[in-house]
Chain A
Amino acid sequence: MGTEIKAIPKLDVIKEEEIPHILEPGEVGAILELIVSNKDGKVTEQRVLKSKSFVQQFLQLLFVKFAISPTVAPISIRDTGNTLRAVYDTTYTFDTAAGVTVVTYGIIIGTGVVAPTISDYAIGIIIPHATMNYSACTYGAPAADATTSQFTITRNFANVSGGPVTVNEIALYCRAYYTAAIGYFMLIRDVIAGGIAVPNGQTLTVNYRLQAIV
């Protein structure tokens, strides 16, 4: 495992008028925002879409959190390495705050195109750091307007590969604790129709906005 470089997280408060409204009333979900920008910061492509694919591990970890599952009654959850782990609740549950270069948790990108299923436990084909440089994850604090609450998880991916890279899938991984060790678990996996092309030298910014609508 690579050395994790700790970065000071950046905290942005999202203004109410910046909350996108795509979800239906009663839904809890995520909005996926993809922004490609060049070296000057000019946006060359932007998409906002509904994240469709909370997978099995999300619901299992929510159960662990709601139940405060103890060490004597852990929940068996498949990690990103396809191994079942006996997970119990600690403050690590749902930790997505990955540092720069870290590809084991936080927002992850890949080139796989296989449609998501609820039992997916990992991204199809991960794009490694140093092909696309992974920044630290940053966060927008919770905010609400008349109908919608949200907070935002953001990560930048700089294409340093020397050629174009097409990102076809995006996932959110987190940490959680199992029998005397920290494990990594996939919460969300989205496949992007047609992919999003990132030319060499440009940066892809991914925002997952977790929302609840009343």
Chain B
Amino acid sequence: MIKTTLTLERFSPHGDLLEKREQESRSWLKHFLDLLYLPCARFDYTTNDIGGTPRGLCGFIDSTSAWGTLKVASTPGNTQICVHTASGGSAAYCRDTPQKGEDIGIVVGTGNAAVTPAQDALQTKVNHGEGAGQLLYGGCELYGLTFADPNGQFTIRRYFTNVLGGNITIEEVGIYTPGVTGAIPNPTTSCYIFCAARDLTGGVLVANGELLRVTYVVQITV
């Protein structure tokens, strides 16, 4: 069984911990299973991206190159992240499709609508930036893969900095991940973004200059 803990920590501009909230994450969505189903079953499958548009995703390519579907680790903000795609069904045609770092990994938002399994996106994502209502997205890290019977875990973490955004109340947190389009054996060089998880926070106010650290710990127990 897999359980996930979500922790939100708010820090002052000087690095002092101002607030810490820990809760059980309840919200791995259908799109997480959609993207796990693709390699598991080796079937193509169509599901909605974060814009609510159905996208035909490729289940398999007989290639030993990396494959971008279900990528969660990400680069900061609007720096480029390469998502591994392909065309022609061969490793020789593998491509790196550029995306923005803020569109993959942990994301935050201000919407507080209830979570349902089949929803496509955060209600109101806070975008990366230094303007009003924006936060600087750090890189999304994966680390801490450890085991001690009967448990195992790893951590997904991202920092968000409020530079000049005014007060922003984070009501929702989620995980975005890409899926590679196309059909077996011919994937395309395109990918789209899907919402794998979404949780409500109860509201965490991040003031100007403050920093928010969001941490998911994914744990299995035998």
Point out residues on A near B: beta carbons under 8 Å. Answer: 9, 11, 23, 25-29, 50-56, 58-60, 62-63, 65-68, 70, 75, 88-97, 116-119, 139, 141-151, 153, 174, 177, 180, 210-214
- With an 8 A cutoff between CB atoms, is B92 at the interface? no
- Minimum Cβ distance to chain B for residue A140 (Å): 9
A59–B61 touching, CB < 8 Å: no
Q: Which residues of A contact B156 (CB under 8 A)?
A: 66
Q: Besides A93-B67, A118-B220, 8 other CB < 8 A contacts? A: A26-B25, A56-B147, A65-B71, A96-B41, A97-B41, A116-B222, A118-B221, A142-B45
A142-B70 contact, Cβ under 8 Å, with A25-B26, A91-B60, A93-B39: no
A139–B60 touching, CB < 8 Å: no
Partner of A151, one of B33, B63, B151: B33
What is the 8 Å Cβ interface bit string for chain B, positions 138-155, against chain A (1 contact, 0 not)? 000010010101111110
Partner of B218, one of A62, A147, A153: A62
A68–B41 touching, CB < 8 Å: no
- Minimum Cβ distance to chain A for residue B190 (Å): 16
Point out residues on B near A: beta carbons under 8 Å. Answer: 1-4, 24-30, 32-34, 36-37, 39-43, 45, 47, 60-68, 70-73, 84, 115-118, 142, 145, 147, 149-154, 156, 177, 218, 220-222
Q: Which residues of B contact A23 (CB under 8 A)?
A: 1
Partner of A94, one of B1, B40, B147, B150: B40
Q: Which residues of B contact A9 (CB under 8 A)?
A: 41-43
B117–A90 touching, CB < 8 Å: no
C-alpha spacing A62/B28, complex, angstroms:
14
C-alpha spacing A160/B71, complex, angstroms:
43
